[in-house]
């Protein structure tokens, strides 16, 4: 705002309305609606959508014209006032009630410009009148740009009139409520209409028509009483005065007000700003305080992982890994002569189809049982609850739905996660090979000794002179080799056992960690990510809403 504007503002004391600010707010409202689409019940958002649509349409149409509507109950004199303001008899005035059934429009200025606007408002072409003509000269120039509507009533026995009025009241820029001394305190006017326009104070005018029927002193009393009722309706400070369709002197104030409004060309913007305020008021309860930093914390995720791991069979797989470790190690480090016996037992991991990680095939793990499914369900619910703690109640269903949205694909994903995890027992450890080599060496030595002994025996058996065995102490070398080799082999196998047990335990732990990590990833992707998405929409919606509120 420039200095000049600020000074002007102080002098006029009124709120200036900035078209850009309004557009900005409408844009923010659209963003808000996009962010909450599908998350919040549609019924709450209908009002906002209507406002956005209507605002878009109105701002695209003529900004030079101001649409003013004369609204009131049957018999209040709207049509007479309409004719008086136009200084022509355009609208039918009668004593039979209700009189006006459809809206009539009178345009000051060229009709062509206002045609599109009137098409949008919904006034039939045959009910449109043009006021300014060459004959008038400059008399009506002050009102150029005015589109005055004479609306039907809203409280007669004809229901159709009320529906038409409701529709039109949503589309006009300025509303002049015409009341008369008999009906100014009617409930249908105040409770049915005026109270809903609390935020449209800038574009509401209330006039007491038929004031010529009252004595001046009475007229003042009635206007004061009317003002009191307006205060109760929340329309304090709205321009309210007496008029009469028969006395031109009493119409001056209304005419001046209309002229001023048209000159400022702000009525449409103010009306739309009022609409946006109304809608924002209603949406406040849907958007509360900002969500705390991510509530889906580690503890919750850990609980989720525990449940998912149990249902995916991670403990069983880990145990099988340990067994497989020992099984496979035995192939390298066991006593060669009894190694083969191990083969009679199945490889635990192969039984579960987990020996070769493959992303496509399924494992042979049994599915989760009832208790585990319950546990998974509860932990998913816990995730949604934690996230919902700081959000308004309207968002809880959205969070719960999001947490469950991918639950169906979870068993398959878990299975794949388990199948593709490298459990760390595929490749034989280096020391196994070393031990294996050693075992073979010892066996070889034993075999050499045996062969030697057998050879010596055979030579003696066929009568050749006995071989001379080198002696180690008192024991011949081949015997030593044989017995030593066997004994050493056995001893080695036995010594290696505790090492294998340790190794198996480590393998189990390692496998479990890797499996848990894989399961955590699945959990995050399938359960936590959708919930975080909803939290993200909430943050976006909140931001946009702050801008809407201005």
Sequence-distant contacts of 278-282: CB under 8 A, at least 24 apart: 278/47, 278/51, 278/198, 278/199, 278/200, 279/29, 279/47, 279/48, 279/51, 280/29, 280/545, 280/548, 280/549, 281/199, 282/44, 282/47
Stretch of residues binding other proteins (CB under 8 A), selected from 44-52, 225-233, 292-300, 497-505: 225-233
- Residue 248 token pair: 């031109």
Stretch of residues binding other proteins (CB under 8 A), selected from 224-232, 332-340, 416-424, 499-507: 224-232
Instruction: Give min distance, CB of 370 to other proteins, in A.
Output: 3
Query: What mask, x for binding other proteins by CB under 8 A, covers residues 170 to 209?
Result: ----------xxxxxxxxx-xx------------------
Q: Which of 6, 15, 34, 221 binds other proteins (CB under 8 A)?
A: 221
Report the residue number, 185 or 477, with the smaller CB distance to other proteins: 185
Report the residue number, 7 or 191, with the smaller CB distance to other proteins: 191
Among 174, 197, 221, 208, which Cα is nearest to 81's? 208
Instruction: Give min distance, CB of 343 to other proteins, in A.
Output: 18
Q: Prior bond to 464 cis, omega within 30?
A: no
3 state SS of 94: coil
Instruction: Give min distance, CB of 33 to other proteins, in A.
Output: 24
Report the residue number, 128 or 514, with the smaller CB distance to other proteins: 514
3 state SS of 265: coil
Q: Which of residues 304-363 bind other proteins (CB under 8 A)?
A: 310, 313, 315-317, 319-320, 348, 351-352
DSSP 482: I
- DSSP alpha helix (H) spans, 361-473: 370-388, 396-404, 410-420, 430-461
Position 15 contacts other proteins (CB under 8 A)? no
Position 411 contacts other proteins (CB under 8 A)? no
Cα–Cα distance, 5 to 248 (Å, whole number): 36
Q: Which of 44, 113, 225, 547 binds other proteins (CB under 8 A)?
A: 225
Helix (H) or strand (E) holding 242: strand 240-242
Check: CB of residue 197 under 8 Å from CB of residue 204: yes
Q: Which of 59, 130, 169, 229 binds other proteins (CB under 8 A)?
A: 229
Report the residue number, 377 or 411, with the smaller CB distance to other proteins: 377
Task: Give how far Cα 524 sits from Cα of 378, 405, 463, Å.
Answer: 16, 13, 82
Q: Which of 365, 480, 528, 534 binds other proteins (CB under 8 A)?
A: 365
Instruction: Give min distance, CB of 158 to other proteins, in A.
Output: 8
Q: Which of residues 500-539 bind other proteins (CB under 8 A)?
A: none
Cα–Cα distance, 540 to 528 (Å, whole number): 18
Q: Which of 222, 296, 482, 519 binds other proteins (CB under 8 A)?
A: 222
Q: Which of residues 42-101 bind other proteins (CB under 8 A)?
A: 73-76, 95-98
- Residue 156 token pair: 């007669």
Count, residues near other proteins per rule CB under 8 A: 55
Q: Which of 11, 43, 157, 462 binds other proteins (CB under 8 A)?
A: 157
Instruction: Give min distance, CB of 51 to other proteins, in A.
Output: 27
Report the residue number, 313 or 476, with the smaller CB distance to other proteins: 313
Query: What mask, x for binding other proteins by CB under 8 A, covers residues 283 to 302?
Result: --------------------
Check: CB of residue 359 under 8 Å from CB of residue 419: yes
Instruction: Give min distance, CB of 64 to other proteins, in A.
Output: 37
Q: Which of 338, 358, 374, 426 binds other proteins (CB under 8 A)?
A: 374
Cα–Cα distance, 150 to 33 (Å, whole number): 35
3 state SS of 245: coil
Position 377 contacts other proteins (CB under 8 A)? yes
Stretch of residues binding other proteins (CB under 8 A), selected from 10-18, 103-111, 150-158, 238-246: 150-158
Instruction: Give min distance, CB of 156 to other proteins, in A.
Output: 5
Instruction: Give min distance, CB of 513 to other proteins, in A.
Output: 18
Cα–Cα distance, 184 to 243 (Å, whole number): 13
Check: CB of residue 55 under 8 Å from CB of residue 127: no
> Do the bridges between strand 471-472 and strand 475-476 make them parallel or antiparallel, or are there none, so unpaired?
antiparallel
Print the SS3 string covering 197-231. Answer: HCCCHHHEEEEECCHHHCCHHHHHHHHHHHHHHHH
Task: Give how far Cα 186 sits from Cα of 189, 192, 226, Å.
Answer: 6, 10, 11
Instruction: Give min distance, CB of 211 to other proteins, in A.
Output: 12
> Which residues of the shown chain bind other proteins in the complex (CB under 8 A)?
73-76, 95-98, 155-159, 180-188, 190-191, 214, 218, 221-222, 225, 229, 232, 310, 313, 315-317, 319-320, 348, 351-352, 364-366, 369-375, 377-378, 381, 393
């Amino acid at each position: 705002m420039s200095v000049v504007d600020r000074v002007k503002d102080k002098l006029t004391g009124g709120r200036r309305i900035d078209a850009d600010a309004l557009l900005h707010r409408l844009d923010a409202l659209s963003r808000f609606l996009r962010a909450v689409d599908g998350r919040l019940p549609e019924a709450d958002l209908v009002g906002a959508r209507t406002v956005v649509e209507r605002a878009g349409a109105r701002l695209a149409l003529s900004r030079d014209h101001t649409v003013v509507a004369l609204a009131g109950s049957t018999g209040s004199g709207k049509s007479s006032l309409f004719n008086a303001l136009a200084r022509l008899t355009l609208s039918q005035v009668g004593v039979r009630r209700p009189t006006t059934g459809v809206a009539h429009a009178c345009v000051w200025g060229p009709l062509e410009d206002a045609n599109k606007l009137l098409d949008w408002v919904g006034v039939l072409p045959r009910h449109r009148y043009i006021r300014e003509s060459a004959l008038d000269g400059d008399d009506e120039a002050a009102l150029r740009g005015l589109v005055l509507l004479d609306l039907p009533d809203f409280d007669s026995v004809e229901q159709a009139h009320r529906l038409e009025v409701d529709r039109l009241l949503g589309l006009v820029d300025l509303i002049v409520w015409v009341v008369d001394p008999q009906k100014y305190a009617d409930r249908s006017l105040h409770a049915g209409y005026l109270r809903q326009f609390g935020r449209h104070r800038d574009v509401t005018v209330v006039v007491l028509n038929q004031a010529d029927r009252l004595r001046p002193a009475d007229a003042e009393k009635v206007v004061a009483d009317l003002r009191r009722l307006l205060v109760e309706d929340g329309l304090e400070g709205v321009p309210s005065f007496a008029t009469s369709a028969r006395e031109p002197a009493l119409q001056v104030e209304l005419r001046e007000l209309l002229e001023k409004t048209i000159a400022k060309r702000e009525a449409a913007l103010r009306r739309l700003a009022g609409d946006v305020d109304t809608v924002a008021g209603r949406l406040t309860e849907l958007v509360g305080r900002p969500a705390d930093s991510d509530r889906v914390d580690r503890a919750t995720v850990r609980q989720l992982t525990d449940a998912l791991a149990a249902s995916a069979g991670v403990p069983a797989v880990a145990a099988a890994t340990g067994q497989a470790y020992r099984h496979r190690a035995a192939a390298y480090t066991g006593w060669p002569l009894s190694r083969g016996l191990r083969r009679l037992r199945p490889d635990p991991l192969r039984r579960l189809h987990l020996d070769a990680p493959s992303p496509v095939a399924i494992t042979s793990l049994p599915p989760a049982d009832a208790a585990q499914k319950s546990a998974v369900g509860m932990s998913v619910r816990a995730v949604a609850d934690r996230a919902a703690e700081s959000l308004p109640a309207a968002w809880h269903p959205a969070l719960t739905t999001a947490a469950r949205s991918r639950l169906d694909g979870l068993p398959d994903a878990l299975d794949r996660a388990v199948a593709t995890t490298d459990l760390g027992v595929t490749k034989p450890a280096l020391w196994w090979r070393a031990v294996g080599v050693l075992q073979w060496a010892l066996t070889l030595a034993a075999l050499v000794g045996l062969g030697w002994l057998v050879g010596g025996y055979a030579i003696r058996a066929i009568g050749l002179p006995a071989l001379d065995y080198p002696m180690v102490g008192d024991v011949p070398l081949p015997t030593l080799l044989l017995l030593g080799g066997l004994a050493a082999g056995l001893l080695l196998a036995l010594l290696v056992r505790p090492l294998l047990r340790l190794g198996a335990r480590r393998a189990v732990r390692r496998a479990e960690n890797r499996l848990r990590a894989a399961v955590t990833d699945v959990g995050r992707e399938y359960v936590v990510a959708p919930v975080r998405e909803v939290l993200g929409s909430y943050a976006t919606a909140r931001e946009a809403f702050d801008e809407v509120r201005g």
